[in-house]
Amino acid sequence: MSNLVVNRTPEVIAAEINSIKEQTRKVVLYNSIEIGRKLVEAKELVPHGEWGNWLEEAVDYSKSTANNLMKIFEEYGSDQITLLDDNLKSQAFGNLNYSQAVLLLGLPSDDREKFVEENKVDEMSTRELKKAIDDLKKANKEKDNALKERDEAIEKLSALEESNRILEETFNEGAEERNSLEEKVKELEKEIEEVKSSKPVETVNVDWEEITAEVQEKMDQLIEEKEAAERKIKELESKQNNSSVKFKIYFEEAGRSYQKLLEELASVKEIDEVEYIKYRKATEKFLNKMLERVLD
C-alpha cells in the first residue's frame, strides 16, 4: 500500500493558515457572544454593588470588557441557542472578528447590518474600519443638521405666512368695517333729510310744540350717530394708513422671495454639496440677523 505524498508548498501552507484564521475568527466571535450571554445572566444574580468585585475575582474581567461582551451578545447574538448554527442574529456578521464587532457597536443597530453588507468590513484593518465608521457618523450628522435646518426654515416660513394671513385678515376686516360705517352714514344722512323735509299733517288738537321737539330730538340723535360713524371711519383710516399698505406689499414680496431662495438652495444641494453647505450657513446667518433686528 502506497502512502499519499502531499507536496508542501508555500501556497498550500498559506491556505492552511488562512483556514485556521477563519475558523479562529468565527470561534472568537461565537465565544464572545456566549460569554456575553452568560455575563448578562450572572449580572441578574450577583447582589447589587458587588458586580465589579465579582468580575475581577471570578472571571478576571474589568467592567469595560464585561460591558463590551454583554453588548456583543445583545447586538449580535441570537435570542435562541441552536446546535445547527453560530447563533448570530444575522449572517452578515459571520465574518467579523471581535475587534470589528466592538467598533461596529458605535453605529445604530438599524445602520450596522447595511454598513457591513455594503462595505468589505472583514477585509478592513481596525484603523480603516474606524475611519469608515467615523466618516459615516459625520455624514449622518451633517444630514441630520441639514434636515433640522430645513425644518427650522420651513417653520420660520410658516410663521411668516401665518403673520401675513393675520395681517391680511385684519386689513380686510378693517376695510369691511369701514365700508359698513360709510353705508351707515349715508343712511343716516338720508334719514336726517327725510326728517327735515317732513310736513306735519293738519289735524285738530295737535300740539305743534311737542311734535317739533320730537322731530328735533330725532334729528339730534341721527346727527350724533352720523358723527360717531364718521369718527370711527377716521380712526380706521388712520390705522390703515399708507405705511400699513406698504408693509403688507413688502411682506408679501419677502415671503415670495424667501420661498424662491429655499427652492434655489435645494437645487444647489443636488449639484454641489460643498456649495450647498456654504450657502445654507449664509442663509441661516442672514435669517438670524433679520430675526434679531425684528426682536430688538
Rounded CA separation 68/29 (Å): 12
Q: How do the domains of the chain map onto residue ranges?
A: 10-103, 253-295
The pLDDT, as a whole number, for residue 89 is 65
pLDDT, tens digit, 9 for 90 and up, residues 33-92: 899 999 999 999 999 999 999 999 999 999 999 999 999 998 888 765 543 345 566 677
The CA distance from 287 to 261, in Å, is: 12
Q: Which amino acid is at 224?
A: E
Question: Residues near 150 by Cβ (< 8 Å), separated by ≥ 6?
Answer: none
What pLDDT digit, counting tens, does each position of 209-231 carry?
555 565 566 666 766 776 776 67
Beta bridge partner(s), residue 200: none
Contact 28, 88 (CB under 8 A): no
Write down the pTM of the prediction. Answer: 0.47
What pLDDT, in 10s, does the model give residues 172-202? 666 666 667 667 667 766 766 666 665 554 4
By the 10 Å C-beta count (0-12 exposed, 13-18 middle, 19+ buried), 208 is classed as: exposed
Question: What residues have CB less than 8 Å from 45, skipping those under 6 apart?
Answer: none
